[in-house]
């Protein structure tokens, strides 16, 4: 046993020697020890001015940030660090694009930094509007070897890491925060909601003109409702008549439709069509989705009360109360009826709000801090158009998640002329996954054919 202990001690000593041999001191650039440089940076930072000296650059546009090249003095140290990092097990996040990498948490976080160790996506810095919301990318920093970037987390320090486009390169970096006193946060900007509208007075003629006759069959509508009530979602394929679908799809690619980018980037990035610029057939399709007849059809599909003619749970209760009252009158019993004790509640008017959207590379929507508090019971409608070759790996699908949970409840993929209906409660949130550069592999030609178009409506009882 003594011999074994001596051998173990000898092995441990040898390991310590090897470890010491491998250890290197991570000495920083001598530039950072220069008193004149430190004084110059401090002065410029406090005055929101520019400053540069050697491999150090300080800029205050769009917010103060500092770039330090050759941050670590030893080249061999950074190379060994890279090798060590690449030996780690990295786990891909597939449910990550619904929170924006904006100012992070202002509470105690002060100096986020990114050390670029290989070529990859740029660090994009955003300008802000009068509401302290990100507006557009005004500066992009290309990652470079052994370069440190730091900036103060503030109400305007909105930033993102751009998508890595190269298939054979990766963006390997270290990031973190130095914590300090909390900063005062400005009052949160609340976006005004889109105005909601009741149905348009259009009759069933529109349905006969536009819809696949299968969905006008009463027995089939009952079958759809049964399936919807079981799962709270359904997809109705070949929803529009083929000739109408083709007509609208072609019209959406015409130059007369005016598209406007919707932001801000910490909430969404896609284009929306101006209602005034709709071609005639597109306008007719819009009116279809807003029509009284369509509200009634949706009621038949879902069992929701989106039309006064559709039955509801309240109607069944009233019928039962009426039967009970008639029974009491027949037996001569007295007393207050349940219905007499109920408040006379005026039924709400069903309303809707909609958009015609265009999605291309870089498009997305995100969950936001205030979404959960404003969530309502609602019926979502999606009608994708003109996306025959769209693939799952491109992104652009709608994900439904439970509040405070990471697991997806439902994923709706773009499938042209397939009407998706999803009922969500106050605990269900949704976002559209970022459309990545793989979507650019679609057939070369008209760029509009690389886009997904969809009607997106929300209906409220």
pLDDT category at 411 given cuts 50, 70, 90 is very high
Lowest mean pLDDT among 4-13, 31-40, 199-208, 401-410: 4-13
Sequence-distant (≥ 6) Cβ neighbours of residue 43 within 8 angstroms? 49, 51
- Does residue 189 belong to any structural domain of this protein? no
pLDDT of the residue at 159: 96
Is the pLDDT at 7 greater than 60, yes or no? no
Structure tokens at 226: 């049964």
Rounded to an integer, the average pLDDT of 382-399 is: 90
pLDDT of the residue at 165: 82
Q: What percent of the chain has pLDDT over 70?
A: 79
pLDDT category at 33 given cuts 50, 70, 90 is very high
Distance CA 158, CA 136 (A): 10
Give yes or no: residues 143 and 94 share one domain.
yes
- Does residue 222 belong to any structural domain of this protein? yes
- Does residue 184 belong to any structural domain of this protein? no
Residue finishing a domain among 157, 176, 195: 176
Rounded to an integer, the average pLDDT of 339-348 is: 54
pLDDT of the residue at 6: 52
Rounded to an integer, the average pLDDT of 74-92 is: 87
Lowest mean pLDDT among 25-29, 253-257, 442-446: 442-446
**pLDDT tens, residue by residue, 131-178:** 999 999 999 998 889 999 999 999 999 999 988 887 777 788 889 999
User: Could you give the C-alpha distances from 132 to 151, 280, 394, in angstroms and in order?
Assistant: 17, 39, 32
Looking at the structure of the chain, the number of domains it has is: 2
Give yes or no: residues 213 and 259 share one domain.
yes
Rounded to an integer, the average pLDDT of 64-87 is: 92
Query: What is the dihedral angle through the alpha carbons of 143, 148, 153, 159, rounded to the nearest 10 degrees?
Result: 0
Identify the residue with better confidence: 112 or 414. 414
Distance CA 171, CA 339 (A): 67
- Does residue 195 belong to any structural domain of this protein? no
Give yes or no: residues 119 and 220 share one domain.
no
Distance CA 99, CA 113 (A): 19
Rounded to an integer, the average pLDDT of 15-20 is: 52
Give yes or no: residues 147 and 273 share one domain.
no
Give yes or no: residues 413 and 272 share one domain.
yes
**Residues forming a β-bridge with 174:** 115
Give yes or no: residues 382 and 303 share one domain.
yes
Rounded to an integer, the average pLDDT of 311-335 is: 57
Rounded to an integer, the average pLDDT of 261-270 is: 96
Strands 408-412, 351-359: pairing is unpaired
Identify the residue with better confidence: 38 or 21. 38
Is the pLDDT at 362 greater than 80, yes or no? yes
Residue finishing a domain among 176, 194, 227: 176
- Give per-residue burial for 389-427: e unless 16+ CB within 10 Å, then b: ebeeebbbbbbbbeeeeeeebbebbbbbbbbbbbbbeee
Give yes or no: residues 117 and 246 share one domain.
no
- Does residue 323 belong to any structural domain of this protein? no
Residue finishing a domain among 123, 157, 176: 176
Distance CA 458, CA 351 (A): 9
**Residues forming a β-bridge with 430:** 400
Rounded to an integer, the average pLDDT of 353-359 is: 98
Give yes or no: residues 156 and 236 share one domain.
no
Q: Which residue segment(s) compose the domain that 438 sits in? A: 205-310+347-460
CA angle 225, 460, 338 (to 5 degrees): 80
pLDDT of the residue at 448: 59
Rounded to an integer, the average pLDDT of 250-270 is: 94
- Does residue 341 belong to any structural domain of this protein? no
Give yes or no: residues 293 and 396 share one domain.
yes
Give yes or no: residues 354 and 420 share one domain.
yes
Give yes or no: residues 72 and 169 share one domain.
yes
Report the CATH number at residue 105. Answer: 2.60.120.620
pLDDT category at 181 given cuts 50, 70, 90 is confident
- Does residue 342 belong to any structural domain of this protein? no
Mean pLDDT for all residues in the chain? 85
Give yes or no: residues 78 and 217 share one domain.
no
């Amino acid at each position: 046993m003594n011999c074994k202990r001596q051998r173990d001690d000898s092995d441990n000593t040898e390991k310590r020697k090897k470890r010491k041999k491998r250890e290197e001191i991570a000495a920083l650039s001598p530039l950072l020890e220069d008193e004149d440089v430190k004084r110059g940076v401090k002065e410029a930072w406090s005055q929101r001015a520019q400053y540069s000296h050697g491999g150090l650059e300080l800029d205050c546009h769009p917010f103060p940030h500092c770039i330090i090249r050759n941050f670590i003095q030893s080249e061999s140290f950074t190379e060994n660090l890279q090798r060590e990092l690449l030996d780690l097990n990295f786990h891909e996040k597939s449910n990550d694009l619904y929170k924006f990498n904006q100012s992070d948490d202002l509470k105690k976080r002060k100096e986020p930094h990114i050390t670029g160790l290989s070529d990859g996506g740029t660090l994009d810095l955003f300008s802000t509007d009068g509401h302290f919301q990100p507006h557009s990318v005004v500066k992009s920093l290309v990652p470079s070897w052994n370069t440190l970037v730091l900036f103060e987390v503030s109400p305007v320090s909105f930033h993102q890491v751009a998508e890595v486009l190269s298939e054979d390169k990766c963006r390997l970096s270290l990031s973190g925060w130095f914590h300090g006193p909390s900063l005062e946060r400005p009052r949160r900007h609340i976006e005004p909601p889109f105005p909601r509208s009741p149905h348009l007075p259009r009759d069933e003629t529109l349905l006969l003109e536009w819809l696949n006759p299968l969905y006008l069959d009463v027995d089939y509508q009952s079958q759809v409702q049964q399936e919807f009530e079981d799962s709270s979602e359904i997809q109705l394929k070949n929803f529009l008549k083929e000739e109408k679908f083709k007509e609208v799809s072609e019209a959406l690619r015409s130059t007369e439709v005016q598209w406007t980018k919707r932001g801000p980037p910490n909430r969404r990035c896609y284009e929306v069509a101006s209602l005034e610029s709709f071609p005639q057939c597109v306008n007719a399709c819009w009116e279809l989705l807003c029509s009284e007849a369509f509200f009634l059809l949706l009621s038949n599909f879902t069992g929701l009360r989106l039309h006064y003619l559709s039955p509801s749970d309240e109607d069944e209760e009233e019928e039962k109360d009426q039967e009970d009252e008639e029974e009491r009158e027949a037996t001569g019993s007295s007393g207050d009826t349940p219905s007499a004790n109920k408040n006379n509640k005026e039924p709400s008017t069903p309303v809707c709000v909609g958009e015609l959207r265009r999605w291309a590379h870089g498009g997305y929507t995100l969950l936001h801090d205030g979404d959960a508090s404003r969530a309502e019971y609602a019926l979502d409608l999606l009608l994708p158009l003109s996306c025959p070759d769209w693939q799952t790996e491109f992104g652009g699908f709608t994900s439904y998640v439970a509040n405070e949970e990471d697991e997806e409840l439902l994923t709706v993929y773009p499938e042209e002329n397939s009407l998706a209906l999803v009922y969500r409660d106050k605990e269900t949130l949704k976002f559209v996954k970022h459309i990545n550069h793989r979507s650019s592999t679609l057939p070369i030609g008209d760029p509009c054919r690389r886009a997904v178009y969809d009607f997106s409506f929300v209906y409220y009882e």
